[in-house]
Amino acid sequence: MAERVPTIPSELQPRQKNLSFDLDRALAGVVSVKAIAPADAFTAKSLGTERLGHGVVIRQSGLVLTVGYLIIEAQEVWLRTIDGRVVPGQALAYDQETGFGLVQAMSSLDLPVLPLGVSGEVAPGDSLIIAGSGGRESTLSAYCVGRQQFAGYWEYWISDAIMSAPAHPFWGGAAAIDELGRLVGIASLQVETGDGKQSQSLNMVIPIDLLPPVLDDLVKLGRPNKPPRPWLGVYATEIGERIVIAGVADDGPAEKAGVEVGDIVLSVAGEKPTSLGEVWRRVWAQGPAGVEIPLMLERQDRVLEIRIKSVDRLLVTRPRIFH
């Protein structure tokens, strides 16, 4: 496990003199996460079989919070501490609604726990530290650019994402730490905003306030204790004012129902969506996994009505997460 996070230029690293908490102690609670999924895993095609990112120690027992796409279907997980120790871990849980994942270290990490903050208190202009594993050289001094809804092409939506800049170059699972040294989110993506000379790279950070309501269930059950959302197995994007199908999961519900790449979504359950997030929210509003989702699609100047038998996404991938 020799991979290293790219070094952040020194002028972009946080300075202890500007902080009220022990920076090095906080950064010691951020570990490297390496996950290996089998070649026949459902997510291997989209996410690869070897995934490298970060995680944050949130309990003294060795419970590590990360971003879920790193560990879904992982058969092996390895955690590397700031002092170079490599500890085996177990993929404990993945929550498709929030995007969080949990790893349980299989032996003692003996690392500081990063306390949870209140992400609802993070406002535009507030200072943030985006911390990768490896200490200060992997840590970026940033700030909150804004709070906004975020819709992902993979049937994902959250209402109040934290957007931070500048973007960390190796963001997956990095810790977002506030001015008091508390964990306020987990970095999930790098996104581009604006056009041309006005473009800017940002990190989308999953707010930590989404974790406490589901944490105990994730630890005990591997998922939230409530009916799962319906999943279609489509990848969609906004092109102008249109919602276009950009891909379908192999052998997923949408592919089985006849949805094709290039189809334009005209309506979901009889209502025209005005955004990608509205598509997903309308799908989820139809009931739990297993419900049929009626779509009206446009394909080469033809209008098609298709009903997709939704499924629980974790049932597609669940056998690869061991407890």
Share of residues in the chain with pLDDT > 90 (%): 90
Sketch the domain layout of the chain as residue ranges.
1-226, 234-320
Four-way CATH pick for 1-226: 1.10.150.20, 2.40.10.120, 2.60.60.20, 2.40.30.10: 2.40.10.120
Residue 318 reports pLDDT greater than 70: no
pLDDT averaged over every residue in the chain: 94
Q: Which residues contact 226 (CB under 8 A, 6 or more apart)?
A: none
Average pLDDT over residues 17-21: 94
In sequence order, what are the residues at sequence separation of 6 or more whose Cβ sits closer than 8 angstroms to the Cβ of residue 184? Answer: 117, 118, 119, 121, 122, 128, 162, 176, 177, 178, 205, 207, 208
Residue 303 has pLDDT above 60, yes or no: yes
Per the omega criterion (within 30 degrees of 0), is the bond before 6 cis?
no
Give the C-alpha separation, 184 to 167, whole Å: 16
The predicted model scores a pTM of 0.94
Looking at the chain, the whole-number percentage of residues with pLDDT higher than 70 is 96
pLDDT reported for residue 36: 96
Rounded distance between C-alpha atoms, residue 282 and residue 52, angstroms: 34
pLDDT tens profile 235-264: 999 999 999 999 999 999 999 999 999 999
Q: At 195, is the pLDDT very low, low, confident or very high (cuts 50, 70, 90)? A: confident
User: Tens digit of pLDDT for each residue in 198-214?
Assistant: 789 999 999 999 999 99
Estimate to the nearest angstrom the gap between the alpha carbon of 154 and the chain centroid: 11
Q: Which residues are 128's β-sheet partners?
A: 142
In this structure, which CATH number among 3.90.1150.10, 3.30.420.40, 2.170.120.12, 2.30.42.10 belongs to the domain 234-320?
2.30.42.10
